[in-house]
Structure 1
């Protein structure tokens, strides 16, 4: 999701389809030189495997680092809106369905509880007044905003406080994370506030994000570089195999 940062916060913009066949030449991410690839067993799986790849000088994807376990949505996954062409071969991500968006997505800003983080990604510290808007009717839908700037009324109804530790009994899931740019144009009802973040417990499913161990997140923080135009890919294994050649996936 592409989220706009409202000015006074320095504000972080972090958390129905035209059918296009799988014969994409992947031009939307042809300049990407880093890829975070998550594969799951099938559309209903709530866990998967994360692997990281970088392009070599010849343009081929080469795996870097070790594979790591992750958890995804409690409803599994479904096609999201990002860089990849829309598909008709499986479920479609909707607001509140508990599915993680499948497809290819840009990686956005990092966020967390600390003032600073060890990452080259743009980073913003979340405040007690930071919220991601999952209210479909809101003009701020699919944006992270600061209630101190937009007003308490503007964030009313959101279920996504970005300081979970302060709003949910010390919850550490958003202590470190980054935006997966699903639904960048904030299409109403298509799903909002999609992040990579820490898991509550190993293998515990999410509301639609991708969750992982702190060690995995810290490796990604140290590895990801904005100049490499990194992308995040999530696909059930059968869809990865079907689209691998057309989408130039590792």
Structure 2
């Protein structure tokens, strides 16, 4: 491990000499992640992308992609585009990236079960803002908004996320 790794600890995520309180999935940590189990997958993952709401904030990094009204993430194991960014209209089950709440104003995506997904192994393991302090997620890792805004530009594609 290096200071440039995002490392989950009992106190939160350690990154670049700082520790940030974080929330994990309501299903705890699991090595055998499955779609809908609410768990955060154990392992070494990498940051794969960064999305942001351009109507709410400036790009957090030069490589960030804006979230538009038609941006979705497929969470349907029957979908050939399972666990990828898709656009509306989309006939399969999906999650909207452009939400009314601020949870996805900044979203770091990971390479969990991506780019070639195994159906049912889990989708959309993101780093995003939390609802309230340490409130469990559906499997993602969530942070205070200002902490995520600091982390996002530092965590370039390929940055390791270590979930022991």
Task: Tell me, yes or no, whether TM beats 0.5.
Answer: yes
Mapped pair 1:117 → 2:117: no
Residue of structure 2 equivalent to 1:27? none
Displacement of 1:155 in angstroms is 3.8
Which one has a larger percent helix, Structure 1 or Structure 2? 1
Name the structure 2 match of 1:182: 112
Whole-Å Cα distance in 2 between the matches of residues 218 and 111 of structure 1?
Answer: 12
1:128 Cα deviation after fit: 1.7
Contact 1:131 1:155 in 2 (8 A): no
Residue 77 of structure 1 aligns with which residue?
A: 29
Q: Is the 8 A contact 1:109 1:178 kept in 2?
A: yes
2:6 is matched with 36
Give SS of 2:42's match.
strand
Which of 70, 76, 85 is the equivalent residue of 1:144?
Answer: 85
Q: 1:209 maps to which residue?
A: 140
Match of 2:41 among 75, 97, 101: 101
Q: CA RMSD for the aligned pairs?
A: 1.9
Q: Which runs of 4+ in 1 moved over 4 A?
A: none
Deviation at 1:123?
Answer: 1.3
What stretches of structure 1 of length at least 5 have no aligned partner?
1-29, 41-47, 54-63, 80-91, 166-170, 236-250
1:33 to partner: Cα distance: 7.7
Following superposition of structure 1 onto structure 2, how do residues 149-168 of structure 1 map, counting pairs within 5 Å? 152=89, 154-158=90-94, 160-165=95-100
**Distance in 2, Cα, partners of 1:68 & 1:93:** 24
Q: CA deviation at 1:51?
A: 0.5
Match of 1:67 among 6, 19, 33: 19
TM-score in terms of structure 2 length:
0.90
Distance 1:118 1:132 in 2: 20
Classify the secondary structure of the residue corresponding to 2:22: strand
Q: Is 1:111–1:177's contact at 8 Å kept on the other side of the alignment?
A: yes
1:99-126 C-alpha deviation (Å, 9 max, x unpaired): 0111101111101211641225x21111
Structure 2's unaligned 5+ residue stretches are: none
Matched, 1:219 2:150: yes
Q: Which has the larger radius of gyration?
A: 1
**Structure 2 CA distance for aligned equivalents of residues 155 and 182 of structure 1:** 23
